[in-house]
Structure 1
Amino acid sequence: MKNIAKIDFTGEVVFNTSRSSGAGGQNVNKVETKVELRFDINASTLLDETEKEKIREKLKNQINQEDELLVVCQESRSQLKNKELALKKFKELLISALTVPKKRKPTKPTLEKIEKRLKTKKVNAEKKAMRTKPMHD
């Protein structure tokens, strides 16, 4: 697997800017600080077909009908900072989509753990047995 964090995607992503919403005073009304990163999955030359399929499968909620991965960032008041944050989010998304989780190795409980579990079961059973009303003859 490739090291996605070190790949330069700047040639394959397109940035669109617009006016951000929320707090910011007059700056929000004047400056286009909201950044939308678009990555065309089909046109990518940096990824092979299996990687593209994994991305489509795992990030399907963030992919539009044109098969573009969308990342929106409007956290900062600076357009440059938002571009950097969007690119960082984009790389993190790709890393999370392309990493294969380790296969779990089933293990057996140790003898000590088994004994501890049985002891707590016995204590709980005695506790509950004490709650019952005594029988009268």
Structure 2
Amino acid sequence: MNEIELTAVRAQGSGGQNVNKVASAIHLRFDINGCSALPADAKQRLLALGDQRITTTGILVIKAQEFRTQERNRRAALERLTSLISAALVESKPRKPTRISKQVKKKRVETKRRRGQLKRVRRQVDEE
């Protein structure tokens, strides 16, 4: 848990006295490169997300402020972090290129031919 740093800050937006006085929002900072529990490929996938929440030094910053209490915001931030990490742990399968069947190609050409024929029939006839 040394890689996770939680700080309480004042939440943004309207909310009156509670928002102005109480630090209920949570800033979660997670050091991706410094995490020893994550495998190297998962770290690379996390960094490759190109997310605006990831700093240039490899620190993921999550801000949770949707709830009124600090504890619920802390839980929400940790849940978001776990979902990001679990998504990074899943290795994406390489795409296998598929071939278009002859039947599909034939059908496409046939519909194009019919469409052209229909447009030819609709043309204005020259009366000379």
| CA distance 1:135–1:65, shift in 2 (3 Å) | closer
Partner of 1:33: 24
Identify which of 61, 64, 77 aligns with 1:86: 77
Bigger mean CA offset, 23-32 vs 111-120: 111-120
Aligned mates of 2:22, 2:33 — CA distance in 1: 32
* Preserved CA contact (<8 Å) 2:43 2:88: no
| Percent of aligned pairs with the same amino acid | 33
Aligned: 1:21 with 2:12: yes
Q: Could you list the runs of 5+ residues in structure 2 that have no partner in the other structure?
A: none
Query: Which amino acid is 2:126 matched to?
Result: M
Aligned: 1:129 with 2:120: yes
Q: Could you list the runs of 5+ residues in structure 1 that have no partner in the other structure?
A: 1-9
| CA distance 1:106–1:53, shift in 2 (3 Å) | closer
Question: In angstroms, what is the RMSD of aligned CA positions?
Answer: 2.4
Query: Which amino acid is 1:100 matched to?
Result: E
* Preserved CA contact (<8 Å) 1:72 1:86: yes
Partner of 2:86: 95
Aligned mates of 1:65, 1:78 — CA distance in 2: 31
Indicate the SS of the match to 1:58.
coil
Identify which of 15, 38, 49 aligns with 1:58: 49
* Preserved CA contact (<8 Å) 1:20 1:28: yes
Structure 1 length normalisation: TM-score? 0.75
Identify which of 25, 40, 45 aligns with 1:49: 40
CA-CA distance at 1:49 after TM superposition: 3.2
Query: Which amino acid is 1:94 matched to?
Result: I
Query: Which amino acid is 1:31 matched to?
Result: V
* Preserved CA contact (<8 Å) 2:32 2:59: yes
Aligned mates of 1:125, 1:52 — CA distance in 2: 54
Partner of 2:62: 71
Aligned residues: 128
